[in-house]
Amino acid sequence: MQFGSFELFIAWDGYFRLDGGAMFGVVPKTLWSRTDPADDRNRILLSINPLVVKTGNGVFLIDTGIGSEWDDKRRDIFGIDRKSTVTSSLECKGIRKEDITGVIFTHLHFDHSGGAVERNENGLFQPAFPNATYYIQQGEWECAVKPNERTKASYPPENFLPLKKANAVHFLDGDKDIASGISVMVTGGHTPYHQVILLRSDGNIACYCGDLIPTSSHLHLPNIMGYDTNPLDTLEAKRRLIAQAINEHWLVIFAHSPRMKAGYLVERAKKVELEPMEIT
């Protein structure tokens, strides 16, 4: 879609599944299953929606999807169904991996960083986008390289350590401008240094929400993932972001919504509603 002078589209990386209870935290299944029905293993369907931003000065990819380094056991556990990949989505738009000039991570969990690397002819990992600078919060990097027992499974080191070895990483410290019209805002919550990405062009504003608001179902304030390291920080960050998105007419884009991937928020009768918008 055209967004001011930017062009936006989803570099769809297929589907996967996570436990519905974990995705909605303390909210009972009788409530969340109305919008997100679970399969026979209590998993809900999630989409993997990295965002491409084409500007006059470069092509930026926000998050890189789940990647291809999955054995049969883990593929089954997470119900990975890659009907599309980031690379094939790019190719459909005539974009080569070499054309990506910047990769911006919301955070480094495996479903957001798995496509950042690929194997070379010697079987070693290297950056999948050879001409890109990879942008990440310094604090998020520290959480990833020194995980604890609760977070370790979310941070496979092969997804990100090769980026630093290749001198491809640019570390950020707080809210920063990445390029003209592209900035990051640290929200915390899901991870201590999770960030959302803001896009501004010709009076239009969009927000890629990452895992602060992973799906349209998570617009409801109590719907907070059990995966979040600081759920009360998530709550307050969501409250602020949603209010600003309504007041300033932001386009909000969801990292994992399988159906309504983006839209504009409106408040009707004290209830936040989404007016869907296709990003193609």
- pLDDT tier for residue 217 given thresholds of 50, 70 and 90: very high
d(CA 86, CA 66): 9
pLDDT of amino acid 280: 79
pLDDT of amino acid 144: 98
d(CA 4, CA 102): 20
pLDDT of amino acid 26: 97
pLDDT of amino acid 171: 98
pLDDT of amino acid 11: 97
Q: Residue 126 corresponds to which tokens in the numbers above?
A: 């290297």
Segment (H or E) for 30: helix 29-32
pLDDT of amino acid 95: 97
What burial letters (b/e) apply to 16-49, b meaning 16+ CB within 10 Å? bbbebbebbbebeeeebeeebebeeeebbbbbbb
Look-up of token digits 């399988």? 258
pLDDT of amino acid 229: 97
Write down all domains in the chain, each with its CATH number in brackets: 2-276 (3.60.15.10)
d(CA 118, CA 166): 13
DSSP string across 162-217: HHHHTT-EEEE-SSEEEETTEEEEE--SSSTT-EEEEEEETTEEEEE-TTTS-SGG
Average pLDDT, the chain: 97
Tell me: the pLDDT tens digits for 141-153? Answer: 999 999 999 999 9
pLDDT of amino acid 270: 86
Answer whether residue 112 shows pLDDT above 90: yes
Instruction: State the pTM of this model.
Output: 0.97
d(CA 189, CA 163): 25
- pLDDT tier for residue 208 given thresholds of 50, 70 and 90: very high
Tell me: the pLDDT tens digits for 236-273? Answer: 999 999 999 999 999 999 999 999 999 999 999 989 99
Q: Residue 243 corresponds to which tokens in the numbers above?
A: 């209010």
